[in-house]
């Protein structure tokens, strides 16, 4: 979950192996990275690697524990130190991930997300540590929304909002790395910001859409509509309009007008 940063080299061989493995797993993946390559990058004898980490999975677990430790010092603390507003901290962190993609030419994504896709189904012990890393990241974002609780609707759940931010970031990073541009990343973050700003300004949640405006009052009393006249039946004239006619004269006789 961290951006690529230069770390001060740690002197002991175990720490150097963990740092080297973290970088190589992030850029190459877990499977393609060999133990000899890790030892070479750490400038440690291969025998020392086997001494500290009998299996490659042991080394993987150590890197994931180390990432949990570095979440504050390397990921969130530098952002929080520059931004005071709790909601703006969230978007400043997303901006940091964007900067990481730009600096590395889209080569460095989210190392935790990458490992979930690669080994999530085959290494259950590592998956537990991957989930713990996500939980730590979510807790940091959740605290931001809790600090802004007075500006959010009562129904807005900080944990749910944090999950929304995490899924936005992970998807945006993946699409940016796939297409090698920031159109999808910027669009996703812009939509997230629009949603959060609507929460702040309008007091709505995604489960309770904005209420329709009440109808304007007109100064005239509403009247019931006049009932329409029943339709006339076709082919039959109205009886009230029909005139009574005298019967026809008998045959052979004519009628005379009265004198």
| Residue 221 in domain | no
pTM value?
0.74
Hey, what's the torsion of the CAs at 135, 138, 142, 143, to 10 degrees? 80
Cα-Cα-Cα-Cα dihedral sign, residues 110, 116, 117, 122: positive
Judge contact between 113 and 174, C-beta under 8 A. yes
Please state at what angle helix 124-147 crosses helix 56-70, rounded to 10 degrees: 10
Instruction: Indicate which CATH number applies to the domain containing 108.
Output: 1.10.357.10
Q: What is the pLDDT of residues 38-84, one digit of tens each?
A: 999 999 999 999 999 999 999 999 999 999 999 999 999 999 999 99
DSSP structural state of residue 12: S
Give the pLDDT confidence score for residue 11 in this predicted structure: 76
Is 5 strand, coil or helix? coil
Is 230 strand, coil or helix? coil
| Residue 164 in domain | yes
Q: What is the pLDDT of residues 95-107, one digit of tens each?
A: 999 999 999 999 9
Total structural domains in the chain?
Answer: 1
| Residue 250 in domain | no
| Residue 95 in domain | yes
Q: What domain range includes position 101?
A: 63-202
| Residue 145 in domain | yes
| Residue 236 in domain | no
Q: Read off φ and ψ for residue 212, nearest 5 degrees.
A: -70, 150
Give the pLDDT confidence score for residue 241 in this predicted structure: 46
Average pLDDT over all residues of the chain: 85
Cα-Cα-Cα-Cα dihedral sign, residues 50, 56, 59, 63: positive
């Amino acid at each position: 979950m961290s951006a690529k940063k230069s770390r001060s080299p740690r002197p002991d061989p175990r720490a150097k192996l963990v740092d080297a493995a973290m970088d190589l797993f992030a850029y190459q993946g877990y499977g393609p990275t060999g133990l000899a390559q890790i030892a070479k990058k750490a400038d440690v004898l291969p025998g020392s690697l086997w001494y500290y980490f009998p299996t490659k999975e042991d080394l993987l677990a150590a890197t994931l524990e180390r990432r949990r430790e570095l979440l504050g010092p390397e990921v969130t603390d530098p952002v929080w130190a520059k931004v005071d507003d709790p909601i703006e901290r969230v978007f400043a962190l997303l901006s940091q991930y964007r900067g990481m993609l730009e600096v590395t030419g889209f080569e460095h994504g989210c190392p935790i997300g990458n490992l979930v896709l690669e080994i999530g189904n085959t290494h259950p012990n590592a998956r537990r540590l991957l989930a713990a890393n996500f939980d730590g990241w979510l807790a940091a974002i959740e605290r931001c929304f809790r600090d802004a609780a007075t500006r959010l609707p009562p129904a807005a759940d900080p944990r749910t909002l944090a999950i929304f931010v995490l899924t936005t970031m992970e998807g945006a990073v993946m699409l940016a790395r796939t297409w090698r541009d920031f159109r999808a990343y910027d669009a996703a973050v812009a939509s997230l910001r629009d949603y959060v700003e609507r929460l702040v300004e309008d007091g709505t949640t995604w489960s309770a859409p904005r209420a329709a405006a009440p109808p304007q009052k007109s100064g005239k009393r509403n009247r019931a509509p006049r009932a329409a006249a029943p339709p006339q039946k076709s082919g039959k004239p109205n009886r009230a309009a029909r005139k009574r006619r005298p019967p026809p004269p008998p045959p052979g006789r004519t009628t005379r007008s009265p004198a």
